[in-house]
Structures are given as C-alpha cells and as structure tokens.
Amino acid sequence: MSYDYDLFVIGAGSGGLASSKRAASYGAKVAIAEGDLVGGTCVIRGCVPKKLMVYASNFSHLYQDAIGYGWSKVEPSFDWNKLVTAVDKEVRRLSALHIGFLEKAGVELMSGFAKLVDAHTVEVGDKKITADKILIAVGGEATKPNIPGIEHTITSREMFLLKEQPKRFVVLGGGYIGVEFACILNGLGSQVTQIIRRDLILRGFDEDVRGDIQQAMIKHGINFLLNAEMDKLQIEKTEEGLKLTVPVGEKEETVMADAILCALGRKPNLENLGLENAGIETVKGAIVVKDDSSTTQPNIYAVGDCTDRINLTPVAIAEGRAFADTVFGHIPRYISHENVASAVFSQPEAASVGMTEAEARAKFGENVKVYRGRFRPMFYSLPDVDEKAMVKLIIEATTERILGVHMVGKDAAEVIQGMAIAVKMGATKKDFDATIGIHPSTAEEFVTLR
C-alpha cells in the first residue's frame, strides 16, 4: 500500500524532533505535527526557561558573598519584567532554530493538533494524512486536584508568563518542579511558602539529598507546611489576595498569596489524541510500549513522557533516536532506563545517579556500604556563610561496585554527569580510590571518601 509519508510524528518536542530528524537522515519521508511552539515542554515551558530563571535567582546571594572577597556593598534591584521578556525572547529564538533544523533535515512541519483516525491515518485540522509508521511524542501536562478554588492556581506552564512578580508565593507539592520554583522565587526576593503532603520534599530521591536540600531551603528563608492534607485544601480569592486554608493534622493553617503554583504532578498528554481509533492500549493514563517503543499497534510507536517511563528530556531524545535507528536505519538498539542521572536545580543544587541508599538496602540487605561527607565548600569560607555540600557513595560490599552517587551543592549536575559514566561502566570503590582528585574542588571529595 502507498502512504503519504514513511513516518508521521505527533508532537515536536524533544523526542519527536530527535526521531524525525534521525529518520529523515536515513532517507525516510517524514512529517511532524505540532499545535504549539516547536520545542515542546523542555524548550518552551520547562528545562530551558526554568534554568534561565535559576541563573537569575542565583545572583541575589552573590552580591552579599562578594563583600567577603573585598567588593564593596551594593544595593541591587531586580526587574521581573525584564527577566521574563528576555526569557521569552530566548525561548522563541530556540523554537525558530528547531524549525530551521527540521527544514534542513527535510522534515515537513505541519502546524496544528494531530489526531489518530486509524492505524495509518492522522487528521490535522481538516486534512487527513496517511503514513506507514506513526510516532506519538506528545509529552505530558500538569495536573490539578479537584479542590475548591483550584482554578485560581497556576501551573509551571504559566510561571513564565506572569506579568508581575508575586511578592507572596505559595507552592503546592514537594516534587522537583515545586522545589525549583520555590527556590527561584525565594532567590528573586519573594516570600515563599511550600506546602507538601509529607515531612520531606523530593520523594524518590535519596534521604540525605531530601533532608539536606530541605534544611538549606529553610535556612534560606522558605517556609514549609508539612504533612498537609492536600485533598482538603481550600482556596479563596479575596481583596487581600488568595487565601489558602490548609488542614495540618488537627488544626488549620491560613496562608495568603499573590500567586499559587500547583505542582502536584503531571500526566501523559493523551486527551483527544484518538488512541482508541488505532487500538492503542494505555495503563494508568500512559501509552503501553515494549522495549523498542512499539505500542499495541505494531506500526505505531511512542516515546517520551507520554509513555511515563522516565520523564526526562535526554531520555525522550535517546528513545526517539533509538526508534529511528532501529526502524529506518536497520540498526536495532534499545535504551536502558537503568542508571539514568538526574538533577534538581534547587538552591543548593542536587544530582544523583543509580540507587538510593534505601533501594540498595532493599535489594542487597546488609551487603551495602555507605560513604558520606558533609563540609563547607571553600567558596563560602571568606563570606563566612553556613552553606554545606554533601557527597555520598553507595557500594555493594562484596564486589565494591558503585550502586549510587549523590551530591548536594554547587554544580552538582555538572559533577554527577561525569560520575554517571563511571556508574554505567561498573566502576568500583577501588577505581575511585585510585583516582587522583582535582584540588581544590568539591568533586575531589568523591575520590577521597574513606
């Protein structure tokens, strides 16, 4: 049967862009549809604009730290509108670059939301297109619980579009998105309250990482309401601002805010996609895929956050390229989802690769060794700031193989990226011990832990 395209990709985010260009490089006729700005969550409303705001928020303490190094005291001022305008300009520049990359690769870009009609047909607007293979790369979206007044909250999508800086900012949720925005707004001078369901932020991360970041956030002036009953929250719009009534145990707390970020989770963005028309199975709201990213419809594949495997940009890119290599390059390869490094761009920053201590002990029992160090980085010695870094190695005792590496502190993501290679290669504690460190640096602590 003859089709309009060899491959039709739904969604021009990280996974869709990577797979479409790679498939086209093998000579496939490829089209991609996007109903928003090209670039997806990462470029438009995620990693990129968020990291730019992280950079902006870091400057606030540097003015004070500089005094310890002999610089005279200054009274800095911050312009929210200038920041968000500059961030938006950069986002649109990157989006335009990605469009150019598609054109250069020979991929046809269609503007509009695509919907599956059947296993080989998609509909974009009033146009029907056929394709031999279809790739779904529609990403995820923020969710909101059904509680009174939730319509007055914003999600991470709207954070970059606020016209004014909220002086009183509340974050609902203790995941990495909530933590990062709490630190950003705190660094920019807002009064921040973070409300979480448990007693610690960042569920799923190592306990030392969770505790150290939370304590540092408190030290930096962020207020926490712990063990809140999120499903019983009430939000009311008043003349004085947004009023939150928060049940905590047997009492209720009241918090006033100018803006409330709802960061209570994300889900695959599958609404109105027409999966049922193509016989594609989902479980718990995510597309079911095999190791090769194929769905229950053999000619339809899915990568990235819509499969809810590991929801990280580099993972979506890797899955997309592996799909193209396998299907169009005839070079079968599959992505391992083990030992994928991740970072939280909080203040202080954190990053991890491999197992947490709890995961290691659950799998290996007593056959686990833990090496940990906490110290004040040299940078903070002259400003005399009480800021700590933490480095941690988790080892399988019998083989001395490194199971996990964790860090809290400046440039943690940059350090752990290198550590991820060692973990992936099966490095041991002896390998680390035999490595001479770079002095003076925080990273050298990993090779001197005893």
Between CA 6 and CA 130 the distance in angstroms is 9
pLDDT at 261 over 90: yes
Predicted pLDDT of residue 249: 87
Between CA 98 and CA 108 the distance in angstroms is 12
Mention every residue, 6+ apart, whose C-beta is less than 8 A from residue 97. Answer: none
Q: What are 82-137's pLDDT values in tens digits? A: 999 999 999 999 999 999 999 999 999 999 999 999 999 999 999 999 999 999 99
Mention every residue, 6+ apart, whose C-beta is less than 8 A from residue 300. Answer: 116, 119, 133, 134, 135, 136, 278, 280, 294
Share of the chain above pLDDT 70, in %: 100
- Cα four-point dihedral sign 164, 170, 175, 181: positive
DSSP string covering 371-411? EEEEE--GGGTTTT----EEEEEEEETTT-BEEEEEEESTT
Predicted pLDDT of residue 117: 98
| Boundaries of every domain in the chain | 5-142+267-327, 150-264, 348-447
3-state secondary structure 142-187: ECCCCCCCHHHCECHHHHCCCCCCCCEEEEECCCHHHHHHHHHHHH
Common-topology check for domains 5-142+267-327 and 150-264: yes
Question: What CATH number does domain 150-264 carry, 1.10.10.10, 3.40.710.10, 3.50.50.60, 3.30.70.260?
Answer: 3.50.50.60
Q: Let me know if 146 is exposed, middle or buried by CB neighbors in 10 A (0-12, 13-18, 19+).
A: exposed
Predicted pLDDT of residue 426: 98
Greatest alpha-carbon pair distance for the chain in Å reads 75
For residue 320 the two structure tokens come to 């997309």
Between CA 111 and CA 20 the distance in angstroms is 15
Between CA 434 and CA 179 the distance in angstroms is 36
Question: What CATH number does domain 348-447 carry, 3.40.630.30, 3.30.390.30, 1.10.3720.10, 3.40.50.1820?
Answer: 3.30.390.30
Average pLDDT over residues 22-46: 97
Between CA 169 and CA 258 the distance in angstroms is 6
- CATH architecture of the domain covering 5-142+267-327: 3-Layer(bba) Sandwich (3.50)
pLDDT at 1 over 90: no
Predicted pLDDT of residue 379: 97
Residue 327: pLDDT band (50, 70, 90) is very high
pLDDT at 30 over 90: yes
| Spatial CA neighbour of 282 closest among 66, 136, 424, 142 | 136
Predicted pLDDT of residue 129: 98
Share of the chain above pLDDT 90, in %: 99
Predicted pLDDT of residue 250: 87
- pTM equals 0.96
Q: What are 194-250's pLDDT values in tens digits? A: 999 999 999 999 999 999 999 999 999 999 999 999 999 999 999 999 999 999 988
Is residue 99 a contact partner of residue 39, using CB atoms and an 8 Å limit? no
Q: What are 369-407's pLDDT values in tens digits? A: 999 999 999 999 999 999 999 999 999 999 999 999 999
| Spatial CA neighbour of 242 closest among 261, 223, 225, 224 | 261
H or E segment to which residue 243 belongs: strand 241-248
In the numeric block, the tokens 């947004």 are attached to 242
Q: Which residues are catalytic?
A: 439
